[in-house]
Amino acid sequence: MSKGILLVNLGSPDSTEVEDVRTYLREFLMDGKVIDSPWLIRKMIVELFILPKRPINSAEAYRKIWTKDGSPLIIYSKILQQKVQEQLEIPIGLAMRYKNPSIEFGMQELYDKGVRDMLVVPLYPQYTMSTTETVADKVLEIQKKKFKDVHVNFLKAFYKHPDYVKVLGDSIKENLPENYDKLLFSYHGIPERHDKKALKAAKASKLPIETYRNQCLETTKLVAEYLQLPEDKYYTSFQSRLGKDPWIQPYTDETLEHFPEKGVKNLAVCTPAFVADCLETLEEISMEGKEEFLKAGGEYFTYIPCLNDRQDWINTLVKWFQGWENN
């Protein structure tokens, strides 16, 4: 069977117009793996409590990071696709879990090129139900409806893969200030109940599934070991919580506010739950997070970019894909 690869990232609104942001948020938040309430309750939460006001604030936030070519996440994902394609002969497709280009569009493009053996690559280092799992669900749903003769595989979570740890560690090392007080690893947060569900599923299936929190802590530990960081020089926190339910802790915003009173004046922050810079990294951390930290008494704030289109990251993906292609 002819092989091909589909890269999948989160997605972005088509523009910074409020209605486009509202459409994107509706699709994203109505996903039962993101807000895991029964459909009717989820519909009420999204339509009555989130969508009336949140798209206005989100649109304003997107405008702060938007470029003349559009969403940074989409731009970096396209560059990544193009540069990986330059080193491989098999077709490399690109899709977003929400909005455009859609997963169905990406699968159709590969199918039209003769691909019948597809490796789907969720561009998330850590596995969660609201990222990797929902990508797999959507891909398999479309495969059963439209591409029954296509064989689908998924790249496993790579949060502790030595190649990924090295690339991430090198990217941090290149951007780490010489006299930093602390390096903060800020991961995207999830509700605590998501991790509890993961534990329950792991026990039921007898599979070695790690909770998302433990995956993140493992990434931090391995990168810190690679960089030979003393234990008092780094810390892990979780950002982007939504609603009143408890999310995994410690929270990034509270951490940024409290660091200065603990003597942390020169702070560096990386965001290893993302491989491409986006709203959550560029606006929430490098803009809002910086403002929170400096307002609380911090003096220097360094945001360390995601892997984006780094050549060593591209080379790593090519190496992995060649291993799959030659299997």
Q: Specify binding-site residues for Fe(2+).
A: 188, 280
CB under 8 Å to 242, separation ≥6 — which residues? none
With beta carbons less than 8 A apart as the criterion, state whether 260 and 292 touch. Answer: no
Give the separation between CA 72 and CA 305, rounded to whole angstroms.
12
Q: From the annotation, which residues make up the binding site?
A: 188, 280
HSE-up of residue 114 (Cα within 13 Å, Cβ side) = 5
Q: Is 283 helix (H, G, I), strand (E, B) or coil?
A: helix
User: What is the chain's Cα-based Rg?
Assistant: 20
What is the chain's length? 327
Give exposure, 77-102, as e/b (b: 16+ Cβ within 10 Å): bbebbebbbeebebbbbbbbbbbebb
Q: Is 237 helix (H, G, I), strand (E, B) or coil?
A: strand
